[in-house]
Amino acid sequence: MAIETATDGAMAPVMAFALVGALGVGSQWLAWRLRMPAIVLMLLAGLLVGPVLGVFDPERDIGPLMGPMISVAVAIILFEGGLTLSLHSLRGAAEGVKRLVVVGAPLGWLLSTLALRYVAGLDWASSAVFGGIMIVTGPTVIAPLLRQARLNHRPAQLLQWEAIVNDPIGALAAVLAFEVVLVLQAAETMGDAVWDIVRGIVVASVLGAAGGWVISEGFRRAYVPEFMKVPVLFAALLGIFALSDYVLHESGLLAVTVMGIWIANADLPSYTELRRFKEHATILLVSGVFILLAASMDFETLALLDWRAVGLVLVVILLVRPVTVLLSLAGTGLPMKERLLVGFTGPRGVVLVAVAGLFGERLVAEGIEKAALLTPLAFALVAATVVLHGFSLRPMARALGLAGAATPGVIIVGGSRFAASLAKALGELEVPVLVTDANRTRLRAAREEGLPVFFGDILSEAAEHGVEIMSYGKVIAASDNDAYNTLVATDLAPEFGRENVFQFKRAKQDSRRHALPSTLGGRAIAGGLTYYEIASKMNTGWEVRRTRLSEDYTLDDWREANPDAVLVAEVPEGGDLRILAEDATPKAVPGTRLLALSERRETRNDEARQD
């Protein structure tokens, strides 16, 4: 059967879907390579293929499928947001995070609504809906900015957890406001409106909670095999969304948000895997929706952005956000400079654009003409905040004395003589380092060297709240337990990137009976030595030593002088630390500092080359 092609200059639907996927994922990959926010590249890509070049028009090329696609995508995005709202994590969060959620969310909603009404000139209905989703500071945007800026622990944690917790709360606020507006538009009397609002909230909440309970109990009682959990979850999500919309029009988004919150608090053993898979799916959906909405823009719509739009962006950045944060954190004991940094940092993300685009279209269909401004205003706010904070966060943090180390640090999991020796050498090169272990005794060597330590499991919830993860770029799992090292490397690989997670070679890795799949664990370091081989060398007086290469003292000269030494890492002059995997080749240009495990010498021949 031949593939049907489009006519009248339209792109075939299959080609349109492929283009959206390529642009969305390609923009995120390019942003990763360039170390810049992906949202900026997605916006440019969508506008380029849409209104600028005119090669892709979603309404023309996808047709009637576009509306349902965006609705389902937004439903999945909101469900994933609900999955992040763990009430247990909220109860255990710091006082500042609680204030930003409990006080800051409603206050931000109110101030954003007023700004939209009196600065942007929107009607009250559109302002209330858009103001709700403006609470969200963009968890998918704030994380890359924090990694780039490398703030001190407390402000970084405040910004990170505010974004995570307020993500579903902002979506829920927008959904509730949207439901209220639709009911008020359709109801003939105020009594009917109140009844419809209460009925809508109750129906959506009951269906969402019921769906969450059924899924949670089914997973907990092993009624669903492990390999089918994610497909069942997706099918249940779509079923609840469709059923709720069928029972009560436009209630599905609230239902799936409630369903996500229920599952997040059900304490499921496989919850982390479910959420991680859904995060991957959400990345695809968010990028797809963003490209679709950007390509759907036309110059007439963009022309609606006048001085009021500029005024709104300025008021939100310079007034609404700072006032919300400063009032929320009043009386918490946080230093004023930390409050100012958090107050002037509020990047919005793609969730804002996705939800605003969907609700704006629905409100226009209900006769609210001003709602046509929601999508262009969302694009303007996202672009302005991401670009502004992307360039200003690090300089502002440095000016306030809240910037962390400029070099990405290393977390060494497992206290030992080798860990203490390596951490000391890294510290002398001004590379931030943290040694962690669940056994306090094993941290003694690191503590005696005055090194930063964390007593506890790096995979625990306490570490999630207490360790400044954003300041570190690499992990070395170096405990005496090969299975635990593999677990740590596998669990943290999605967070740090598999290329930045390392461990000792497993003792029986060469045996087919004990070999693990390549998808598990991290990259082997220290020349492929095992923990016990390294421990044996440390017990006979070996240590991690530093040597600087030069034009006159090359890598070959160093190898000749240290034939038994084992390279561990290198730091190019003016560059970042590079952990050397088992099969890696050192670049070793002049000026590079080598870190190697070698025998201690009372009289060192290369003493002059030590840093």
DSSP line for 185-224: HH-SSHHHHHHHHHHHHHHHHHHHHHHHHHHHHHHHTT-S
Averaged over 207-219, what is the pLDDT?
Answer: 89
Q: What is the pLDDT of residue 201?
A: 78
Whether 586 and 538 have beta carbons less than 8 Å apart is answered as no
Full DSSP string of 507-518: TTTTSTTT---T
Confidence of residue 203 (pLDDT cuts 50, 70, 90): confident
Question: What pLDDT does residue 272 have?
Answer: 60
Which candidate, 508, 535, 522, places its Cα nearest to that of 442? 535
Say whether pLDDT at 202 is over 50: yes
Map out the domains of the chain as residue ranges.
16-399, 409-609
- Predicted confidence at residue 540, as pLDDT, reads 85
Query: What value does the mean pLDDT take over residues 253-264?
Result: 84
Instruction: Please provide the distance, in angstroms rounded to a whole number, between the alpha carbons at the two ends of the chain.
Output: 70
When mean pLDDT is compared across 104-118, 401-415, 429-443, the lowest value belongs to 401-415
Whether 473 and 408 have beta carbons less than 8 Å apart is answered as yes
Determine phi and psi for 223, rounding to 5 degrees. Answer: -75, -15
pLDDT at 5 over 50: no
- pLDDT score at 607: 42
Task: Tell me, letter by letter, the H, E, C secondary structure of 518-573.
Answer: CCCCCEEEHHHCCHHHHHHHHHCCEEEEEEECCCCCCHHHHHHHCCCCEEEEEECC
Instruction: Give the pTM.
Output: 0.68
Backbone angles phi, psi at 2, to 5 degrees: -75, 145
| Structure token pair of residue 419 | 């860990």
Say yes or no to pLDDT of 314 above 50: yes
Architecture of domain 16-399: Up-down Bundle (1.20)
Distance of CA 204 to the CA centre of its chain: 28
Percent of the chain at pLDDT > 90 equals 5
Residue 516 region, left (φ>0) first, then alpha (ψ -120 to 50), else beta?
Answer: beta
What is the predicted pLDDT for the residue at 115? 92
pLDDT tens digits, residue range 552-581? 888 888 888 888 888 888 888 777 788 888
Does domain 409-609 fall under CATH 3.40.50.620? My reply is no
Q: Is the Cβ–Cβ distance between 535 and 582 less than 8 Å?
A: no
Contact 365, 178 (CB under 8 A): no
Three-class SS of 136-174:
CCCHHHHHHHHHHHCECHHHHHHHHHHHHHHHHHHHHHH
Determine the Cα–Cα distance for residues 423 and 443; give it in Å rounded to an integer: 12
Two structure tokens written together for 142:
């704030």
